[in-house]
């Protein structure tokens, strides 16, 4: 049965935030998500202003038989933040970040982005390891794990999550922390937006203001050698150096590698960084001492302009033959943008007790993702095929399932289960039965209750 056309004025009377329907100005901008491949028309977008609004939006959706999507930063490549015909709980105006410098705790509202978060915490010379693109949502990224420029130093973002306030689909407000609903806190560390809408997240902070970082660009026939150097350096690197790499092609369709180190130690000229900066094929060295806010600008990505399809694997190692194959795959794609992202998981993620959170990829060496990016709809099939085939090349070295934060909506449940492992997946299902037994929150990498 199709849901009735809801009376939006009824919702407007019960929430403090704006309510947008298809006829309202701003509707098209509000339904746009990061991935231009996703073009959906919700019946209503509720721009929530607080916990009361979120509960009212859940009530309204239930009363009118509307499916629900939750929007933070709108970055999820699967486009889970928007849906056809349903109700979007949009947190994009709930962006406040409060910093308690004394206890080194930050409290971020449910729709805060990393730009909001870093700007607030850096005012005190403090930081939590977050994402590398400022417009990504803090909550969405954290609930999937969180890999970035400070992963080696301070762990995954979710390792630094110490509490959260959630509105569950029945309208209850729950605080998850070590002193109550601790099992829910465990689930939020990797288990996604399955259990409620977070209106506040609390993070542990660390002292940091300046880092040595930026981009190193490598081109031409030596890029395979540069990749080997990157792999060997990060594998043996101390935890004061995080580093990611992207393999792509330049305008001349030559293979190109960008490495983005982030060093936070005290040495003036650390050996690992020196070795990386002298790798073969270097054409541009943009590494310098700068503020952490500048490091957070090293990668940028236009919002809503490009079509995206990402697929990857956590791998236990990156042998030479695999690196060579990845370079060959990017050359075969033969057009920028898009590439293969390699994120190292060395350092602090390995020091955390594996039972502190639900995620199951902590022991992997690298997260490797084929990120197809294009604009012309005529290239949809080719681009999606390329990402899938490139991910298949990685499969023999795969550990755990894929990275929930990068998964498309077409990933089968077996892959979501594999991302956690059987035991953690069943534990997550038990929590889903407790906090969202009706699976209202299913527009995500879903943990079904039954």
Nearer to ligand FAD, 117 or 218 (CB): 117
443 binds ligand FAD (CB under 6 A): yes
The torsion angle over the Cα atoms of residues 148, 150, 151 and 152, rounded to 10 degrees, is 140
Distance CA 197, CA 220 (A): 47
Distance CA 183, CA 179 (A): 10
List the one residue from 44, 139, 205, 341 that touches ligand FAD (CB under 6 A): 139
C-alpha distance from residue 197 to each of 78, 109, 260 (Å): 18, 11, 33
- For residue 165, which of 141, 145, 185, 136 has the smallest C-alpha distance? 185
Nearer to ligand FAD, 132 or 205 (CB): 132
48 binds ligand FAD (CB under 6 A): no
Which region among 58-66, 70-78, 275-283, 422-430 touches ligand FAD (by CB under 6 A)?
70-78
Q: Which two tokens stand for residue 161?
A: 């999550």
Between β-strands 68-71 and 87-90, what pairing exists: parallel, antiparallel or unpaired? parallel
Residue 197 β-bridge partners: 167
Task: Kindly determine how many residues on this chain lie close enough to bind ligand FAD according to the rule CB under 6 A.
Answer: 36
List the one residue from 6, 17, 129, 146 that touches ligand FAD (CB under 6 A): 146
To ligand FAD, the closest distance from the beta carbon of 124 in angstroms equals: 22
To ligand FAD, the closest distance from the beta carbon of 221 in angstroms equals: 30
Nearer to ligand FAD, 304 or 396 (CB): 304
To ligand FAD, the closest distance from the beta carbon of 365 in angstroms equals: 16
- Which positions ≥6 away from 40 have C-beta within 8 Å? 31, 79, 82, 83, 84
Nearer to ligand FAD, 293 or 331 (CB): 293
C-alpha distance from residue 271 to each of 98, 257, 264, 276 (Å): 38, 21, 13, 9
- For residue 80, which of 137, 129, 128 has the smallest C-alpha distance? 137
C-alpha distance from residue 296 to each of 196, 262, 292 (Å): 29, 10, 6
List the one residue from 169, 192, 255, 281 that touches ligand FAD (CB under 6 A): 192
To ligand FAD, the closest distance from the beta carbon of 439 in angstroms equals: 12
141 binds ligand FAD (CB under 6 A): yes
91 binds ligand FAD (CB under 6 A): yes
DSSP type of residue 355: G
Nearer to ligand FAD, 72 or 312 (CB): 72
Which region among 14-22, 71-79, 283-291, 377-385 touches ligand FAD (by CB under 6 A)?
71-79
CA atoms within 13 A on the CB side of 27: 14
358 binds ligand FAD (CB under 6 A): no
Under the rule (CB under 6 A), what is the footprint of ligand FAD? 34, 70-77, 80-81, 91, 110, 131-133, 136-137, 139-141, 143-148, 192-193, 197-198, 301, 405-406, 443-444
């Amino acid at each position: 049965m199709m849901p009735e056309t809801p009376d939006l004025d009824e919702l407007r009377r019960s929430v403090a935030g704006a309510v947008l329907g298809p006829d309202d100005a701003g509707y098209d901008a509000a339904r746009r998500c990061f991935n231009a491949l996703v073009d959906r028309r919700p019946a209503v977008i509720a721009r929530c202003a607080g916990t009361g609004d979120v509960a009212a939006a859940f009530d309204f959706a239930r009363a009118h038989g509307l499916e629900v999507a939750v929007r933070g930063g709108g970055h999820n490549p699967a486009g889970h933040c928007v849906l056809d015909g349903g109700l979007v709980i949009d947190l994009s105006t709930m962006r406040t970040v409060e910093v308690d410098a004394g206890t080194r705790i930050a409290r971020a509202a449910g729709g805060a982005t990393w730009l909001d978060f870093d700007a607030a915490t850096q005012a005190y010379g403090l930081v939590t390891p977050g994402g590398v693109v400022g417009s990504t949502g803090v909550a969405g990224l954290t609930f999937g794990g969180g890999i970035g420029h400070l992963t080696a130093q301070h762990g995954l973002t979710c390792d630094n999550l110490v509490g959260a306030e959630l509105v569950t689909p029945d309208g209850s407000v729950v605080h998850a922390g070590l002193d109550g609903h601790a099992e829910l806190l465990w689930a939020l560390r990797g288990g996604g937006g399955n259990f409620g809408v977070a209106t506040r997240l609390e993070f542990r902070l660390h002292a940091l203001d300046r880092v040595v970082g930026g981009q190193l660009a490598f081109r031409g026939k030596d890029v395979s050698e540069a990749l080997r150097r990157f792999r060997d350096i990060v594998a043996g690197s101390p935890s004061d150096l995080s580093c990611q790499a992207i393999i792509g092609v330049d305008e001349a369709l030559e293979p190109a590698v960008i490495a983005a180190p982030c060093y936070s130690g005290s040495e003036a000229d650390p050996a690992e960084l020196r070795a990386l900066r002298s790798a073969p094929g270097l054409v541009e060295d943009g590494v310098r001492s700068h503020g952490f806010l500048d490091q957070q600008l090293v990668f940028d990505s236009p919002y809503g302009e490009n079509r995206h399809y990402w697929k990857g694997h956590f791998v236990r190692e990156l042998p030479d033959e695999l690196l060579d194959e990845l370079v060959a795959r990017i050359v075969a794609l033969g057009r920028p943008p898009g590439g293969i992202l390699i994120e190292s998981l060395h350092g602090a993620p390995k020091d955390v007790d594996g039972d502190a959170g639900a995620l199951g990829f902590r022991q992997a060496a690298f997260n490797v993702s084929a990120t197809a990016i294009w604009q012309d709809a005529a290239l949809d099939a080719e681009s999606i095929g390329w990402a899938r085939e490139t991910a298949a090349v990685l499969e023999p070295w795969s550990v755990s399932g894929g990275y929930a934060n990068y998964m498309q909506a077409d990933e089968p449940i077996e892959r979501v289960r594999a991302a956690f492992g059987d035991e953690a997946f069943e534990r997550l299902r038990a929590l889903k039965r407790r906090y969202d037994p009706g699976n209202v929150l299913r527009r995500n990498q879903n943990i079904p209750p039954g």
